[in-house]
């Protein structure tokens, strides 16, 4: 999914009872514990250290945002910057909220913080990668202003089904079902 609507980006809003801050040295263990709450992800300290060292791409520590409860991370999103891409791009990555703190808008706020960081770093394009079974997250990304990018042959049909499902949900005013992934773990941007 791609994002260019930086002129319409809302700033993060306070969530009562929670704070918002950037990464600090010493946050690694709490961040790792948070990342491990997602069953589909496999995280260990070596992988986190590799990422922090730039193994996957430039990830500035000041572009890692946490929603906190009692100053401990309970939601997170991070920034990767790719200045040599055409066009230069920022990536919103590893968005997660602890299961005990979901449905409070925390992911939305850390995503807005990352996108603000990308904008303030001089970028006019951002993207994210997600799995197509993460429909709640996809709905949030659409709400923020991300748009579908059709990079896989199955994307047009999946997005058409998603948009139809969202329209049905809006008409019914309840939780309509969203399209299912063709196979578990299929990323919406990967074959």
Q: What is the pLDDT of residues 134-190, one digit of tens each?
A: 888 888 999 999 998 878 888 888 888 887 877 777 778 754 444 443 323 333 333
Q: Which of 20, 73, 28 is nearest to 53 (CA)?
A: 28
Residues 6+ positions from 120 with CB-CB distance below 8 Å: none
- pTM here is 0.84
| Cβ neighbours, 10 Å, residue 108 | 22
2-150 placed in CATH 3.40.630.30:
yes
CB 110 within 8 A of CB 95: yes
Render pLDDT for 22-36 as a digit per residue (tens, 0 to 9): 999 999 999 999 999
Angle at 185 between CA 89 and CA 164, to 5 degrees: 80
Percent of the chain, pLDDT > 70? Answer: 90
CB 48 within 8 A of CB 32: yes
Task: Provide the pLDDT for residue 168.
Answer: 79
Q: Which residue has 């992911």 as its token pair?
A: 107
**Residue 115 belongs to what H/E stretch?**
helix 106-120
DSSP 8-state class, residue 118: H
CB 65 within 8 A of CB 93: no
Pairing between strand 65-69 and 72-82?
antiparallel
- What does residue 5 show for φ and ψ, rounded to 5 degrees? -85, 50
Render pLDDT for 84-96 as a digit per residue (tens, 0 to 9): 999 999 999 999 9
Where do the domains of the chain lie?
Answer: 2-150
């Amino acid at each position: 999914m791609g994002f260019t609507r930086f002129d319409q980006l809302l700033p993060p809003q306070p969530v009562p009872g929670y704070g918002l801050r950037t990464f600090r040295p010493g946050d690694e263990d709490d961040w790792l514990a948070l990342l491990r709450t997602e069953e589909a992800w496999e995280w260990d300290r070596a992988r986190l250290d590799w990422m922090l060292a730039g193994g996957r791409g430039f990830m500035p520590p000041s572009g890692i945002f946490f929603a906190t409860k009692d100053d401990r991370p309970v939601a997170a999103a991070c920034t990767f910057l790719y200045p040599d891409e055409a066009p230069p791009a920022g990536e919103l990555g590893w968005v997660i909220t602890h299961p005990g703190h979901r449905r409070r808008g925390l992911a939305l706020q850390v995503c807005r913080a990352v996108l603000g960081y990308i904008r303030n770093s001089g970028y006019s394009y951002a993207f994210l990668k997600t799995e197509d079974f993460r429909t709640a997250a996809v709905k949030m990304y659409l709400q923020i202003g991300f748009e579908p990018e059709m990079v896989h042959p199955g994307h047009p049909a999946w997005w058409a089904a998603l948009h139809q499902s969202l329209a049905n949900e809006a008409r019914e005013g309840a939780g309509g079902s969203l399209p299912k992934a063709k196979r578990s773990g299929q990323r919406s941007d990967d074959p």
